[in-house]
Amino acid sequence: MVKPGTDDVWRWLDAVPDPEIPVISIVDLGIVRDVAWAGDSLEVTLTPTYSGCPATAVIELSVETALRERGLDHVTLKRQIAPPWTTDWLSDKGRARLEEYGIAPPNPAGGPDRCPRCQSADLERISQFGSTPCKAQWRCRDCLEPFDYFKCI
C-alpha cells in the first residue's frame, strides 16, 4: 500500500473518541504527542492522562483498531510520560465540546468559570473527585444543577 501522510493519520486519530468522554477525540485531549514513520512502521506516541486512568489501555486499543481499519498493519504504540500530560494540551475545539456536553472545561484559576448549563458564575464545589479521576463535582447555586468540572492539572 501507499504510506499515508502523517496529516491523514492525525485526521483519522481525531475521529477516535475518548472512551470516557466520547464527545471529544483523543487528539482534542492532547494525548497523541507524535505520529511518525519509522521505515514501514507507523509510530504513534501517546501520553497517558492520569497514572491510574483505566482508559489508557482502551485508548491504545482504539488507536490500533482505527489505524488497522485504514489498512495500516504495522503500528507501534509508544507510551511517553515526560513531559507529564497537562490540561493545557486540550484543544479549543475540545474545550468547547466539553462545555456543550455539560462538563466545565479546565481553568487555571482552579475551578470552573461558569455553569455549563445556565452560565451563572455562582458556583460551589461538592467534591474534588467526580465520576473519574480527571473530574471534580461542582454545583450551580442558580439553577441548582450539579455538574462535572474537568480538573486542571
Partner 1 sequence: MQAEFPEFLLRMGDNTLVLGHRLSEWCGKGPVLEEDIALANTALDLIGQTQMWLGLAGEVEGKGRSADDLAMLRDAWDFRCCLLVQQPNGDFGQTILRQYLFDQWHLLMLGALADSRDDRIAAIAAKAEKEVTYHTERSAELVVGLGDGTEESRGRMQAALDLLYPFVGELFVGDAVDAALAAEGVAPDPAQLRAPYDTALTATMSAATLTVPDSRFAHRGGRDGSRHSEHLGHLLAQMQWLQRAYPGATW
The residue ranges that bind partner 1 (CB under 8 A) are 50-54, 81-86, 126-133, 137, 151, 153
Distance in Å, CB of 53 to partner 1, minimum? 7
Distance in Å, CB of 6 to partner 1, minimum? 25
Distance in Å, CB of 3 to partner 1, minimum? 31
Cβ proximity to partner 1: between 51 and 76 the closer is: 51
Cβ proximity to partner 1: between 14 and 60 the closer is: 60
Distance in Å, CB of 82 to partner 1, minimum? 4
Which residues sit opposite 75 in a β-bridge? Answer: 42
Cβ proximity to partner 1: between 10 and 129 the closer is: 129
Which residues sit opposite 104 in a β-bridge? Answer: 149
Cβ proximity to partner 1: between 4 and 133 the closer is: 133
